[in-house]
Amino acid sequence: MPVLRVLVADDHPVVRDGLRAVLASTGAAEVVGEAATGEEAVREATLRHPDVVVMDLAMPGLNGVEATRQVVRAVPKTGVLVLTMHDDDDSVFAAIRAGARGYVLKGASQEELLHAIQAVARGEAIFGPSIATRVLGYFTGRKPALKQPFPELTGREREVLELIAKGFNNTVIAHRLNLAPKTVRNLASSTFAKLQVADRAEAMRRALDEGLGD
């Protein structure tokens, strides 16, 4: 069986080094590239065409969900396996919608991780035990109760974010919500601060990742 080519995308060098060592010890997979940001993950995947990208979700710049979406679009034959500490429903289903074939939590054993990588490389879907229960429930009609995204936002801030996600500018948003343009600017600024995003484009990406603006 050929050795699988893996790209590791995680902003922590210790994690990347650890995965490299673990995979090398198995003899079944090798790390052919590393990325510390979502942008680097997309670029390296496009250049190297690995069998599998092991993708963290929380990375600076482009987050793991959006990076997954771009990798799947740019390199369709490359499978994405999410390896993260986040096991909340929002993260799980956002990653699946973006095209991830697998979702495993950090802390999985070496055997579990290698099995997941091999399964994703074969085009299969693979999920950790706690994740699989929710995924199966979702697709059999027993959908989990998803918490409302961005609970830190007020109702009015959420309305503004929803319209930003739809691509509307402040003038249009003010008209639709019957607010003064200055009020909309203030609401947008407070929303960006709470979401810890740098600009409107990043706020839009975050909102779309959570299903707003669809």
Q: 66-121: per-residue pLDDT in tens?
A: 999 999 999 999 999 999 888 777 788 888 889 999 999 888 888 899 999 999 99
Q: Which residues lie closer than 8 Å to 7 by C-beta, 6 or more apart?
A: 31, 32, 33, 34, 35, 41, 44, 45, 48, 50, 52, 53, 54, 78
CA-based torsion, 150, 155, 160, 164: positive or negative: positive
The two tokens of residue 133 are: 């229960």
pLDDT at 214 over 80: no
Over the chain, what is the mean pLDDT? 87
pLDDT tens column, 135-160: 666 666 555 455 567 878 888 898 99
| C-beta contacts of 18-24 below 8 A and 24+ residues apart | 19/54, 19/83, 19/113, 22/110, 22/113, 23/114, 23/117
Sketch out the chain's domains with CATH numbers: 4-139 (3.40.50.2300), 155-209 (1.10.10.10)
DSSP three-state, residue 106: coil
Helices (H), the chain: 13-26, 38-48, 64-74, 89-98, 110-121, 129-139, 155-165, 170-177, 181-195, 200-209
105 and 77 in contact (C-beta within 8 Å)? Answer: no
| Mean pLDDT of the region 57-61 | 85
- Model pLDDT, residue 90: 78
From the list 3, 55, 61, the residue with the least C-alpha distance to 34 is 55
Between 137 and 194, residue with greater pLDDT? 194
From the list 58, 68, 99, 100, the residue with the least C-alpha distance to 81 is 100
- Model pLDDT, residue 116: 93
Helix (H) or strand (E) run with residue 81 in it: strand 79-84
- Model pLDDT, residue 142: 52
86 vs 67: CA distance, rounded Å: 16
87 and 108 in contact (C-beta within 8 Å)? Answer: no
pLDDT at 180 over 70: yes
- Model pLDDT, residue 85: 86
- Model pLDDT, residue 43: 96
What DSSP character marks residue 104?
Answer: E
| Mean pLDDT of the region 25-47 | 94
